[in-house]
Amino acid sequence: IGGGSPMDCAKGIGIVSSNNHHILTFEGVDEVPIPAPPLICIPSTAGTSADVSQFAIINDTLRKVKIAIISKTVVPDAALIDPEITCTMDPYLTACTGIDALTHAIEAYASNAHSPITDLHALQAIRLIKTNLLKAIQSPDDIEARSQMMLGSLHAGLAFSNASLGAVHAMAHSLGGLLNLPHGECNSLLLEFVVNFNYSAEPARYNEIAAAMGLKPKKLSLVEGLADLRKQAKITKTLGQVGVQSKNISELASKAIMDPCMATNPALVTQKDIESIYEAAL
């Protein structure tokens, strides 16, 4: 029971108990040969969607990077989803986990591995989260807003677990590992900058994302709309303000480009491209 970190910790314990190797040896896609013991997840955020996804994110404290383990063997056997549990989240945690869920949906919809089924889940997640995130932040006990956020997070999880993610998550894993920052906060600080870079690779799909958010189907409208939502959610820092220095950018980019999530980013990116996105977010 908990947010993404406790659920991914449980997944990691299960992987190691079944396979008898160090957890970091399972980094990558389909590298877990033996399924973990039965796992029931009860998410307390809306959210990471770890309760329905084939992802486990583990912090490699030696290399200072968060690694992704992606395998159908780590999908929990059951998810018990109760929005009441999320009412105790403080506003900032509600904001960061909510934009994490929005990022899941946006990246899944733009992913080069998307499908008609994941598209349905992703667009519905975007609509639900855009409509209910600020309500949940401003009125923590609004059970209807909390319920819709939980449903949005669930839709987003089903989307990205099958379509995978993109550069936002790849860069967030590198950033969060280096500076020990919360995952949702990292995504929030990077999302608009990655969308700005990726837009030209899939303009039609990003326009559909904008429309689902109630925005004009244009690049500037989408990028500014994402920035406005972040600021209204009171996530106002820059990367520089959370501790990133110019000297860190090369290291951050070199780790991000190796992340499995980068494989499904809609635009081909070089390390220099990633460095430029980090610099824009400073």
Q: At 185, which CATH number?
A: 1.20.1090.10
What is the Cα Rg of the chain in Å? 17
Q: Is residue 84 part of a domain?
A: no
Q: Is residue 85 part of a domain?
A: no
CATH of the domain at 38: 3.40.50.1970
What is the pLDDT, as a whole number, of residue 219?
Answer: 98
Let me know whether 51 and 178 are in one domain: no
What is the pLDDT, as a whole number, of residue 137?
Answer: 98
Amino acid identity, position 165: L
Helix 116-138 and helix 143-163, axial crossing angle in degrees, nearest 10: 150
Let me know whether 144 and 276 are in one domain: yes
Let me know whether 10 and 29 are in one domain: yes
Q: Alpha-carbon distance 257 to 148, whole Å?
A: 34
pLDDT tens per residue across span 5-44: 999 999 999 999 999 999 999 999 999 999 999 999 999 9
Q: Name residues of the chain where pLDDT drops below 50.
A: none
Let me know whether 12 and 118 are in one domain: no
Q: Among 29, 49, 79, give the residue marking a domain's end.
A: 79
What is the pLDDT, as a whole number, of residue 93?
Answer: 98
Let me know whether 69 and 122 are in one domain: no
Q: Among 79, 100, 122, give the residue marking a domain's end.
A: 79
Q: Alpha-carbon distance 168 to 256, whole Å?
A: 9
Let me know whether 150 and 213 are in one domain: yes
Residue 38 is classified by DSSP as P
Q: Is residue 188 part of a domain?
A: yes
Number of domains within the chain: 2
Q: What is the largest CA-CA distance in the chain?
A: 52
Let me know whether 243 and 180 are in one domain: yes
Whether the predicted model's global pTM rises above the 0.75 cut: yes
What is the pLDDT, as a whole number, of residue 10?
Answer: 98
Let me know whether 133 and 70 are in one domain: no
Q: Is residue 45 part of a domain?
A: yes
Q: What angle do CA 126, 165, 131 make, to 5 degrees?
A: 10
What is the pLDDT, as a whole number, of residue 239?
Answer: 97
Q: Is residue 105 part of a domain?
A: yes
Handedness of CA 171, 175, 178, 180 (dihedral sign): negative
Range of the domain at 112: 90-281
Let me know whether 74 and 112 are in one domain: no
CA of 20: how far to CAs of 25, 120, 141, in Å?
A: 10, 38, 44
What is the pLDDT, as a whole number, of residue 65?
Answer: 86
Let me know whether 38 and 122 are in one domain: no
Q: Is residue 72 part of a domain?
A: yes
Q: Let me know: does 145 contact 132? Beta carbons within 8 Å.
A: yes
Q: Among 79, 103, 133, give the residue marking a domain's end.
A: 79
Q: Alpha-carbon distance 140 to 182, whole Å?
A: 20
Let me know whether 119 and 147 are in one domain: yes
In sequence order, the 6+-apart residues with CB closer than 8 A to the CB of 144 are none
Q: What angle do CA 151, 264, 65 make, to 5 degrees?
A: 85
Let me know whether 136 and 212 are in one domain: yes
CA of 220: how far to CAs of 3, 48, 73, in Å?
A: 33, 27, 40
